[in-house]
Amino acid sequence: MYNSLLRRLKEATILILPIMCLVVVLSLSSSSLSLDSLNIYPNHLGPVFVSFLISIVPLVIGLALFNLGADKSMGRIGTIVGNNLTKKKTLVLLCFGAVLIGLLTTMAGPNLEVLSLRLFPFAKNWILIVIVSLGVGLMLLAAILRVIYQKPLKMWYLIFYGVVFALGCLADKKFFAMVFDASGATSDSIAIPFILALGIGFAQVRGGKNPEEDAFGYAGLCAIGPLISVIVMAIVLSNSNFTVNCVEASTNLTSFSEMGNLYLHEFSWSCLEVAISLLPIILFFIIYNFFLKIKGQQLLSIITGFIYTYFGLVLFLTGANSGLIPAASSLGESFSNINLGLFILIGFILGFLMILAEPNVHVLAERVNDISSGVISKKMIYLSLCIATGLAAVLNIIRVRFNIPFAYFAIGIYLVVFILAIFVPDIYVALAFDSAGVSTGSLSACFLLPLFISYTRALYNQGVYGSEKLEDVLLANGFGCIGMVGMMPLLTVEILGVISIIRKALFYKKVKENVLEEDDSQVVHLPI
């Protein structure tokens, strides 16, 4: 256990430090990018900068504990429940369990809570949480039914995304960014490990012709559910007098006492929110364990895993909310005053490094590496997702700066994705949508989102958006970065599939040339 924890700490340090060092270098290298006002804190060591430095400790420890706990609790429970529900061979029970698991794990997610409060700070934000969670539960059911009846995954993606864009024609286009952000917010550190493990366990027990391919596609399909359910909500909002009073997700620190109070507030908030998040899953496991009857060392290991997961998430969210959000908001405002080309370069590097700190990417990479027996390595997954998030940040900068509707990007990207899906192997299509489903985690919600909201507000104050209302500008441009991060992995992972096809074709061509080469050493002399 001690060695496992040290290994996780080392991994977390390697993942967290690059993006933290980049932000520190940016702040110290230019007065225009300083996190604090140099008039008040001339040595850069103001409360925002110091809070950002302090957050490195809870972020590293929290990520290490979460990764260790997720393997022992969420992953193991998901696999066991998936195996058990499949062995029961009762379709009704399996369907009910899928909807319940999707609903509970999504409602438990802290990222969805954070997004809902930013969208509806003065209204009943639980309505959005319920609508999104119900969409995930129903789509998890669809994912399992697809495997049971062995329907092509590509066809299901095409049908459901066709429904999404058809419904989108009926909604106000300014809601598109919010809809895709809501879908991305379901890629939570609670739900994703559970859903991935459940799908793998179900595929392993069921067997079939393609158990490796059946093990993927669950997270990708679950991400479609909120798109449909939330866009229906957007249609209702578009045809009513209801307004979304979104506010800037920033925390302005003007003194070190405020910094200390912020850490205390976020720690107490995280303790409560993570407890509420984990409680439904724990109760589900306790009730279900009356039938499973897991005892002894295995039960103790799962309980220990829950404890690690709890404290890991508490520390990670405390560091993210206390250090990342103030720094991101400050950077977003500063970026509005620098050269656009420089911001694009910095944005790509930030996006490239940010994905390394997402816990869910680690979970997916481990699962893919194990199931594919190393054919699709963890390095390949990380590289493709790093490039994807870097490009997502760049495209979002261009979209916000030039006020381009989010819908244009969504339609263009998905059009290319479905064209590529015709040519690449099915396993890469499923992996692409799963990768998109795990790329939008806590850093997207706690770093990129406040950065772009602050950047949008600064551009609005500079008169970039003309006479448009601030609420409409923030809704259309401030949001959308989570959705953009969730779309780009679809392209990069499918490109991996194209590369694999090309490499295989070149290999066969080389082998064929060697076999057909006229060489006396290849002549076989048969005895007469």
Q: What is the pLDDT of residue 393?
A: 93
Domain ranges (residues) in the chain: 2-246+258-510
Return the structure tokens found at 511: 């082998």
C-alpha to C-alpha distance for 484 and 477, rounded to whole angstroms: 12
Cβ atoms within 10 A of the Cβ of 135, count?
28
Q: What is the pLDDT of residue 284?
A: 81
Q: What average pLDDT is seen over the chain? A: 81
pTM for the full predicted model: 0.83
Tell me the pLDDT of the chain (528 aa) as tens digits.
677 888 888 878 877 888 888 888 888 887 888 888 766 777 678 888 999 999 999 988 988 888 788 777 766 776 677 667 666 667 777 778 778 878 877 876 767 777 777 776 655 567 888 888 899 989 888 888 887 777 787 888 889 999 999 998 888 888 889 889 888 888 766 677 677 767 766 776 666 666 666 667 787 888 899 999 999 988 887 777 655 666 544 456 778 888 999 899 989 988 988 888 788 888 888 887 887 778 878 888 888 888 988 998 899 889 888 888 888 888 998 899 889 999 999 999 988 888 877 766 776 677 667 666 666 777 888 888 889 999 999 999 999 999 999 999 999 999 999 999 888 887 788 888 877 767 777 778 778 888 998 999 999 989 989 888 888 888 889 899 999 998 998 898 888 888 888 888 888 888 777 665 555 555 555 565
Q: What is the pLDDT of residue 249?
A: 45
Q: What is the pLDDT of residue 107?
A: 78
Place of tokens 């602050």: 454
C-alpha to C-alpha distance for 147 and 353, rounded to whole angstroms: 35
**DSSP per residue, 2-26:** HHHHHHHHHHHHHHHHHHHHHHHHH
> Which DSSP letter does residue 466 get?
T
Nearest to 258 by CA among 65, 414, 436, 46: 46
Q: What's the distance, CA 382 to chain centroid?
A: 13
Nearest to 165 by CA among 179, 152, 151: 179
Q: Which long-range contacts (CB under 8 A, 24 or more apart) does 83-88 make?
A: 83/201, 83/202, 83/204, 83/205, 84/291, 84/292, 85/202, 86/201, 86/202, 86/205, 86/206, 87/205
